[in-house]
Structure 1
Amino acid sequence: MIKIDHVSKSYDGGATSAVRDLSLEIKSGEIFGLLGPNGAGKSTLLNMLAGVLAPSSGTIELDGVNVTTDPLAAKRNLCYVSDSPDHLLRLKGHEFLRFIADVYEVPDAVRGPRIEELAREYGMEGELDNQIQSYSHGMRQKMMIMGALLPDPAVWILDEPMTGLDPKASWLLKQSMRRHADAGKTVLFSTHVLDVAEKVVDRVGVIAHGELLFVGTVDEMREHFKSNGSLEEMFLELTSEDSPFAQGAEPGTDPAGEKDGDAADQEAK
């Protein structure tokens, strides 16, 4: 479970806000998609969840562990795939995976078969003896995904994970995400590829200008906007400049300014 409570992130002494008073709870056993245009605050939020950035205010908990006050324990519960796969490029593929296994204390009896299985699934068997810097972008992305899957963490956080993947690898990743959630664990991924989210997620959150504008299932989003259109059409309505939400209406309200049922219930709690 991921619990985000009134989290903000600002820069330049508070002059620039990347994330604004964001609260969200992501359940164990679900795939949650974070949707938003480039610059919406998605990567900033995920970096705070992973402990790469510290929030300016608010708290974040992963399975009950506070990311700020107990960072090592929190990080043992998660694996993070950033929006760039260009990490530890001088390591060979097998060296990178063994390094990840060491960090997460994956037993020797488990890591070997698991690495072989992942390399076979993602078509990387013949590449593990090569340096990561020799890989294509898509191959590097596969390696980062394999590293995140290897420890089988309770929380899996992925930032634009489909970027650069071929269709087979994208399909495999979606299957891995589903299996992870079905095992009672948590998957959070960001994307601006709306068709991907529509086919994979249990719930979605839409973020723009650092604010969370909507949380719910795709069907709930359709009902909320009385639309039978695609997720893309609803997303564009949510994030367009002339939307009442983008113009500063309080998240969780309708255009008339009245809170919807979920927002009112959360506030009452």
Structure 2
Amino acid sequence: MSIIQLSQVKKQYNGTYVLKGIDLAFAAGEIIGYIGPNGAGKSTTIKILTGIISEFEGNATVLGMDVRKNAIDIKQRIGYIPEQAALYEVLTPNEYLHFVGRLYQLDANNIYKKGMDLLKLFQLDDKADQRMNGFSKGMKQKVLLISGLIHNPEIIFLDEPLSGLDANAVILIKEILSQLKQAGKTIFYSSHIMDVVEKISDRIVIINQGEVIADGTFESLRANAHENSLENIFTALTGNNTYAITAHDFFDILNN
């Protein structure tokens, strides 16, 4: 049985469809790279699967449960890390992690110990009791990552999770995702950072204008597109092959 399934999923805003009939199924233990241009429907797909958006056409199931009927049960067993989220910045990391952990019905002592251990790995343990309204974007993103994983979810949805992170943190996150996969977790990963998606994904889905235009391993996509990198495959399939011309025009404008 598929752990994630979308059947003819469509979503419209003000009469314009941003998803035009998505049919996808994913097995447990995969890292799925979900990529596409801005406005392609990536975040909308994730919000449907995580129960944030309930009004859509078609059917979607996560862990065998209907996302419309069982949203709360699903949310207890998944992790969701968005690019930007309300962090309640007047709270400290410890307070925020306690708040999130209690939503997942974790023991308060366990939340504190696990939270401090995870903050230490991200070199934030010395700021565990500082208000987050003075944190950088990268520091806030690290707290978000911890809050999305602290309950040890079965499926992890990541929407641009590396936003604002420094190079060392990016390397650490890639290794964490690899080990989560080895532990049997399913990771649904949406990002614009092509080299990371290329390296960590078992399967890559490219979506453009609300439709799936490619689905397979990196090796199969490379063979079909006759390109050597995911960036070139993406450019060829989405039709955006004018970057060099646009860059040349930009340069000309600067120098006139």
Q: Same fold (TM over 0.5)?
A: yes
Q: Work out the CA distance in 2 between the residues paired with 1:3 and 1:117.
A: 35
User: What does residue 233 of structure 1 align with?
Assistant: 232
Give the drift of 1:117.
Answer: 1.8
Q: Which runs of 4+ in 1 moved over 3 A?
A: none
Answer whether contact 1:89 1:132 (CA < 8 A) is retained: yes
Give the drift of 1:55.
Answer: 4.0
State the secondary structure of the residue aligned to 2:12: strand
Q: Work out the CA distance in 2 between the residues paired with 1:107 and 1:194.
A: 38
User: What does residue 13 of structure 2 align with?
Assistant: 11
AA aligned to 1:236 is: T
Give CA deviations for 1:197-251 in whole Å, capped at 9, x if unaligned. 11111111001101111111000101222x2421111110111168xxxxxxxxx
Decide whether aligned partners of structure 1 residues 214 and 55 sit closer, same or farther in structure 2, where only a CA change above 3 A counts: farther
AA aligned to 2:187 is: V
Give CA deviations for 1:80-106 in whole Å, capped at 9, x if unaligned. 111214422221110110111101112
Q: Work out the CA distance in 2 between the residues paired with 1:85 and 1:177.
A: 21
Q: Work out the CA distance in 1 between the residues paired with 2:85 and 2:46.
A: 15
Answer whether contact 1:205 1:216 (CA < 8 A) is retained: yes
Answer whether contact 1:29 1:185 (CA < 8 A) is retained: yes
Give CA deviations for 1:240-264 in whole Å, capped at 9, x if unaligned. 168xxxxxxxxxxxxxxxxxxxxxx
Q: Which runs of structure 2 are paired with 1:96-107 in the superposition (5 Å)?
A: 96-107=96-107
Answer whether contact 2:94 2:112 (CA < 8 A) is retained: no
Give CA deviations for 1:35-91 in whole Å, capped at 9, x if unaligned. 111111111111111111124211221111111011111111111111214422221
Q: Work out the CA distance in 1 between the residues paired with 2:27 and 2:47.
A: 19
User: Where in structure 2 are there 5+ consecutive unaligned residues?
Assistant: 242-256
Answer whether contact 1:85 1:140 (CA < 8 A) is retained: no
Give the drift of 1:113.
Answer: 2.8
User: What does residue 45 of structure 1 align with?
Assistant: 45
Give the drift of 1:170.
Answer: 0.9
User: Where in structure 1 are there 5+ consecutive unaligned residues?
Assistant: 243-269
> How many residues align structurally?
239
State the secondary structure of the residue aligned to 2:29: coil
Decide whether aligned partners of structure 1 residues 161 and 121 sit closer, same or farther in structure 2, where only a CA change above 3 A counts: same
Q: Work out the CA distance in 1 between the residues paired with 2:97 and 2:8.
A: 36
Answer whether contact 1:141 1:165 (CA < 8 A) is retained: yes
Aligned-residue CA RMSD (Å) = 1.5
Q: Work out the CA distance in 2 between the residues paired with 1:219 and 1:55.
A: 36
Answer whether contact 1:195 1:231 (CA < 8 A) is retained: yes
Q: TM-score, normalised by structure 2?
A: 0.89
User: What does residue 162 of structure 1 align with?
Assistant: 162
